[in-house]
Chain A
């Protein structure tokens, strides 16, 4: 028998009179797994934090009720709230490393969490801690208790956080983007764990995410949040197959999964544009980031490079661009070896090869205008005059779909998606023939991601660019790149066409990567 445990009635939040969450209604029954889906800035995290009344200082509840088994948390005293937090409502956050105390052992922190709410002896709490770690699937739990957070991998750390959250058998678990910082394979395992725990313990889970596909892998119900309002609520299948609200439809259409029809691409040109042979890059710490990698990209094609974090894909792309020197092996661009070029020669080559980095906002100088940023390559490489630069900047902005008036703006006045367009415009400014996109769409929301992918496809076709598309997201790479390589621990384990890799993966790692991708169930395009 399930019963209702949590109910939000017309919950509204605001910062200094400016509303950020407006009248959110939501119910959660025991054992139910519901997702609150929305893009960044939609108010989903603030809603989640407001439930145990952990909303940060300036954010205040401006209306509505938060009923936990009939008790209103909005009017509850701080003493009552302390009893609720951790015990009745527990939270798991996005970044487990910053939530764990780095100078105390994981065991010590777990025991503390247990004893904060239950009157048990230290020895009992210790046994309980081991049991919890076993339950969340941490191997060799008894030994691991004495380890520090930095000795755990990202996925294991998140498991520890989950163990801490469930230590007092809460009725409601609020998980705020708990898998966003994790690799795909780890994400799949953590999602499975959360599902199992909810089932076994009859715990209600409120899962906050920007990713509809991730939500669909875990949850029964979906609430779509947009600009502080729930625009659509419903069962998983219902929302995914027959979305009613226009925004939900766009969200569903924007999600790139393994069933998305790949983007059309023109036939690749003949010759090889860039080629790497036996590249090795070691770091002083004894880590071999890139280990004997060879690959060649034909001119005019989009080549995908897939790998999880730490696989060495970013280092490889920096080696290809000559931004770093390999310890062994060579890179040649149009037949010229990069190592044979001096500093000046390499800088001249920058015209030909450009890169777009992951962080859309961080990779722009915050104190310079968009016009300056986009015009800089023209100044550096072509010694273009002020008037010519202004004209070219306007053209470039138009090319990436931004109005020319943006030239006078500063990066902080733009959204993440717009900043990434500016990055793209800057990379295109010197007229490159080779463009590396290093996780270029990983930090933006799904709808924006779809727009940028579309823009990339268009630009690639129109300008005849050769692209190296580097990403951890297999579905996105599959969508864009007809040919790709899979990287694992510094090595390329598999190279082939889209069909070869996705229909008949040869390497076990490739198979596990493909299996780990959450699918939008029942949705085909």
Chain B
């Protein structure tokens, strides 16, 4: 029995920590997560804690922000904070749904391409590229024109639109992992191809996919806001951040404050999501540096 030498024990370094812990050690990431947390919280507590978004108060039309109405009131004197919070349910729900569809579809797509090099990979990737070549907005407009602008249809369309990019990201992340030495080790041990792919490689590619997911949420928020702003998205009486922004923009001469809240929320949410994606990628690149 050979024993462990001191020199071996000494050189153990504590460089490696989990991706999550290194992510949370970055102030921008924490701020971005906090911002997103507040938005989600607002949307969730709106039915219980805030004033009713449908209560009309014609005496206080176009109210400026104040103690009673932190974001002011709209053309019917409704509280804008609760309206924005309620719209957040639609906007965030739409973004989450679209992202979920994009991730499920895109990851399966990319994984299949990475696992089956050859003609299947070629076909899948060329299809993805063809889909990517069409401008997103144009695509969305055509879909909405064809299938109407119900929130479910729009969610599915947005999910489909983001799937090809997700597939490409997944493929390259998985291929990079498949080339590494540990996969050769696993093959030599006798692990099956599917075990290597699903149990060993995919979890390692997860952080890269999370970064892509946060960008997907940002993209779909943006898409919803754009479509709603041009009047093709979610239709009144349903409200989303995009429809509120549109409504506020139309009434800009009556109240400067009206469009401010939805605009700020959209900007802050997208900035926060991009920051999250960016920070995850930085953490991952950091792994590559210190990786021994």
Contact = CB atoms under 8 A, between A and B. Distances in A.
Say if A and B assemble together: yes
B182 A363 contact: yes
A426 B190 CA distance: 11
B16 A380 contact: no
B188 interface: yes
Contact of A448 (B8, B12, B13, B195): B8
Contacts of B12: 413-415, 418
A447 B185 CA distance: 25
B2 A410 contact: no
5 contacts: A357-B184, A366-B204, A413-B14, A418-B12, A455-B2
A357 B13 CA distance: 22
A412 B2 contact: no
Interface of B: 1-5, 7-16, 180-182, 184-192, 195, 200, 203-204, 291-292
Contacts of B5: 447-448, 451
B190 A351 contact: yes
A350 B11 contact: no
A364 B204 CA distance: 12
Contacts of A458: 1-2
A361 interface: yes
A354 B7 contact: no
Contacts of A376: 186, 189, 191
A365 interface: yes
A295 to B, nearest CB: 20
A366 B291 contact: yes
Interface residues of A, number: 49
B181 A357 contact: yes
Interface string A146-169: 000000000000000000000000
A362 interface: yes
A427 B186 CA distance: 10
Nearest to B200: A365
Contact of A454 (B2, B200, B203): B2
A301 interface: no
Contacts of B3: 401
| Top 9 A-B residue pairs of the complex, sorted by shortest distance between their CB atoms | A350-B190, A412-B16, A362-B181, A363-B185, A415-B11, A363-B181, A365-B182, A355-B188, A401-B2
A445 B13 CA distance: 16
Interface string A473-512: 0000000000000000000000000000000000000000
Given A364-B182, A365-B186, 19 more contacts: A39-B7, A40-B11, A323-B188, A347-B190, A350-B188, A350-B190, A363-B184, A365-B204, A366-B204, A366-B291, A376-B191, A412-B291, A412-B292, A413-B14, A415-B9, A418-B4, A423-B185, A448-B5, A448-B8
A381 interface: yes
Contacts of A525: none
Given A362-B181, A413-B14, A415-B11, A377 B189 contact: yes
A399 to B, nearest CB: 8
Residue from B2, B190, B192 having most chain A Cβ neighbours under 10 A: B190
Most buried by B among A401, A427, A430: A401
Nearest to A452: B2
Contacts of A128: none
A175 interface: no
Contacts of B186: 365, 376
A415 B184 contact: no
B181 A448 contact: no
